[in-house]
């Protein structure tokens, strides 16, 4: 395993350990970060590999990787809780992810990125896009297949924040448009797999799902 990945993994485990949440939440968080969400966990390091002087940006990139994946995990888990409807048990998870993990992540991002207004304006816009399109059901959505894809991909809109943050950290001219285009293509495949895995639950709760809507 690469040294930078070892450093990041160690840092993530250390930070999860001190989070003021239940052990079961820490376990599920760590499992997701190194499992289903691992693409996002290591994305900043993957982008860093395209730079000429990666060592110069490595420390900041590890910070970004840590706080970004904690934020993404909090968003993903919250979305899942709403999709599957909340009970008393999931209410506790909702509180932990939104009032402890997400806030911890945002504070870390602020320390890492600073007060760069361009990033935070973009971040707020992406958050709005994410949450404005996360509550559709199969019955109240009206549109064609192309529009459906756009709505579903908006669930992953925070990926744009990764690009914005890395542009601030990496003081080099990279092919950012091509990187973003590649990520968008990945998310089409990712969303199709995610909808397939959630097919039964989405059918029960009438959540917007590509296969249920298109048929």
The three state secondary structure string of the chain is CCHHHHHHHHHHHHHHHHCCCCHHHHHHHHHHHCCCCHHHHHHHHHHHCCCCCHHHHHHHHHHHHHHHHHHHHHHHHHHHHHHCCCCHHHHHHHHHHHHHHHHHHHHHHHHHHCCCHHHHHHHHHHHHHHHHCCCCECCCCCCCHHHHHHHHHHHHCCHHHHHHHHHHHCCCCCCHHHHHHHHHHHHHHHHHHHHHHCHHHHHHHCECCHHHHHC
Verdict on whether the full-model pTM lies above 0.75? yes
The pLDDT, as a whole number, for residue 184 is 79
Tens-place pLDDT, residues 178-208: 888 888 788 778 778 888 888 887 788 777 7
All domains in the chain, ordered by first residue: 3-214 (1.10.600.10)
Question: Does position 131 have pLDDT exceeding 70, yes or no?
Answer: no
User: Where residue 83 falls among pLDDT bands split at 50, 70, 90?
Assistant: low
């Amino acid at each position: 395993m690469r040294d930078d990945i070892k450093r990041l993994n160690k840092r993530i485990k250390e930070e999860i350990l001190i989070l003021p949440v239940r052990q079961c939440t820490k376990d599920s968080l760590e499992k997701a970060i190194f499992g289903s969400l691992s693409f996002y966990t290591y994305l900043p390091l993957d982008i860093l590999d395209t730079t000429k002087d990666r060592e110069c940006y490595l420390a900041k990139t590890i910070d970004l990787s840590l706080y970004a994946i904690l934020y993404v995990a909090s968003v993903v888990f919250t979305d899942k809780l709403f999709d599957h409807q909340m009970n008393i048990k999931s209410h506790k998870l909702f509180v932990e992810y939104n009032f402890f993990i997400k806030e911890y992540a945002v504070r870390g991002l602020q320390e890492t990125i600073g007060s760069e207004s361009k990033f935070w304006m973009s971040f707020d816009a992406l958050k709005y896009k994410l949450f404005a399109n996360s509550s559709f059901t199969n019955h109240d959505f009206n549109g064609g297949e192309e529009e459906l894809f756009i709505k579903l991909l908006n669930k992953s809109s925070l990926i744009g924040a990764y690009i914005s943050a890395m542009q601030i950290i990496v003081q080099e001219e990279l092919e950012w448009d091509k990187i973003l285009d590649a990520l968008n293509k990945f998310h089409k495949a990712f969303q199709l797999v995610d909808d397939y895995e959630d097919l039964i639950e989405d059918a029960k709760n009438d959540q917007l799902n590509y296969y249920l809507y298109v048929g």
